[in-house]
Structure 1
Amino acid sequence: MSSFDIRNLAPELSFDSTNDTSLYAHITDSNDDSVTILTRVWMNERNAPELLPYQKHLIDNLIDSLEEQSGLVTDEMASSIENKFMSMLYQTEMERIRYLVKSYLRTRLFKIEKYTLELLRNPDYTEIMSSQEIVYARRYQELVESHNHESFLHHLPVAQHKQDEKTAELDMVVSANLEAPVFCKVLDDIGEIHWNVNDSTETTELEKGGTYIIRYQAIQQYLKEDRVQLI
């Protein structure tokens, strides 16, 4: 999903006057625009087995821009019949961005529900989840525990009421599988990497522009450094 700036198709429209608050204004120090960054963040989140850090600045800016641009597009459509076609193009592009934002947030909620206890026990959970996601995770866990207790746990001895038991044979806390295979595209010359698998060490050469299928744990740090992208 590559982005494009449809202002170039009709520079005479009044949308040019909104350049500073445009959906395509740069919101980071990189050369990529916000929609390109959102697409990459969305793909990484959908393909990573773990919950990645929430991109608050990116999402907040896009949502604010969408709300502002939505009003401008509506006004433009009402002002001139000639501008209706271009306004429809803008609306289509904004719907595409809304889809990416919603899909990104839904993917995160799915992971939060799946790994609730693991996330809440992570000492860095405030750096991974947004404040709204933290509230959601806590409330979700409360509902799950309450449902389990009312459904069947109250029939069992008190010693068996724990829902987070962890022993050598049993771990009731669902954790992300960091050993899962993922496809990734290398964005930087990383070179030879090594990672441990059971009692052995595996080695792979990661060249810029190359596409690899590899264990997630092996490229986890490079993903955080934006040196690889999941596909």
Structure 2
Amino acid sequence: MFDDSEDGDGDRNIVLKLMRLWQDERHAPDLLLFQGDVVERALQLLSDQGDLVTRLQTREDTSEEEHFKMMLVRTEMERVKFVIRSYLRTRLYKIERYAPYVLSTPEIQPRLSAMELAHAAKYGTLIASQFNSAVLAHVPESLRTLDDDDMHYTPAIVTKPNLDLGVFVHARANCPNIRMSDGNTVEIHKDDLQLLRYRSVEDALRRGLVELV
């Protein structure tokens, strides 16, 4: 199975980091920072474990107990593969859903990898082209815009993440200054489980003080 390490860089720690990234990304309404280093190390771990299993399978002196251990390793490998795929699919879903918002919001773009940002640009161009030809070309010229700030459409044309969405938060450390929607601040103690607006815990999540569950 995957080994533990006290220095925080062991196999088990990489898997745990990946699991937490996946969990946070799935529950957060907004796009989080892409953790490419964790994904790359998890993929390298899968490659190393796959090579080890292959070598053991080709040895004639491999015992029945070792074959059983290899089965457990393969099961763990499939679990990690599923988490990686789900993590990337979740991000892709958000990128495509919020492509115009991502492209028009410079502070969001550093959260994406180069490939993700390129995909957002291509997808956004396709959506804008389709919308222009199918809808905007048939309305008065004064309405031919996708800029919500100019037209004040309700609901908005450009879909944005709902930062006021309620999320369940588990505190990984004491969080003394969580600002609520009414302007007051509250303290969340380590291991507390709270239901809060995402906007209130966004900064704590970015700093790794809380995790979404």
Tell me if both proteins adopt one fold, taking TM over 0.5 as the criterion: yes
Q: How many residues align?
A: 208
Task: Tell me how far apart the structure 2 counterparts of residues 133 and 182 of structure 1 sit (CA, whole Å).
Answer: 25
Could you say what secondary structure the match of 1:33 adopts?
helix
Give the structure-1-normalised TM-score: 0.80
The aligned residue for residue 229 of structure 1 is 211
CA distance in 2, matches of 1:163, 1:178: 21
- 1:152-231 map, 5 Å: 152-166=135-149, 167-170=151-154, 171-191=156-176, 193-195=178-180, 197=181, 200-231=182-213
Q: 1:88 and 1:30, CA in 2 relative to 1: closer, same or farther beyond 3 A?
A: closer
Q: 1:75 aligns with which of 55, 59, 62?
A: 55
Pick from 85, 91, 102 the counterpart of residue 102 of structure 1: 85
Return the alpha-carbon distance in structure 1 between the equivalents of residues 37 and 109 of structure 2. 15
For residues 172-193 of structure 1, what are the alpha-carbon distances to aligned partners after superposition, in whole Å with 9 as ceiling and x for unaligned? 2211111111000111122353
Secondary structure of the equivalent of 1:146? helix
What residue number does 2:119 align with?
136
Is contact 1:25-1:34 (8 Å) kept? no
2:94 aligned with 1:114, yes or no?
no
Distance 1:30 1:68, change over 3 A: closer
Counterparts of 1:60 and 1:159, CA distance in 2: 48
Structure 2, unpaired ranges of 5+: none
**Aligned residue for 2:45?**
65
Amino acid at match of 2:120: A
Structure-2 separation of matches of 1:174 and 1:35: 33
SS in 1 for 2:130: helix
Q: Structure 1: how far apart are the matches of 2:8 and 2:202? A: 22
Deviation at 1:207, TM superposition (A): 1.2
In the alignment, the residues of structure 1 paired with residue 10 and residue 172 of structure 2 have an alpha-carbon distance, to the nearest angstrom, of 14
Contact kept? 1:27, 1:61, Cα under 8 Å: no
1:142 Cα offset (Å): 1.4
Instruction: Give secondary structure in 2 for the equivalent of 1:229.
Output: strand
Name structure 1 gaps, 5 residues minimum: 1-5, 8-21
CA offset at residue 30 of structure 1? 9.7
The one-letter code of the counterpart of 2:189 is E
Aligned-pair identity in percent equals 30
1:214, distance to aligned residue in structure 2 (A): 0.6
Name the CA shift for 1:54/1:137 in 2 (closer, same or farther; >3 Å): same
How much is the aligned-residue C-alpha RMSD, in angstroms? 2.5
Q: With structure 2 as the length reference, what TM-score do the two structures score?
A: 0.86
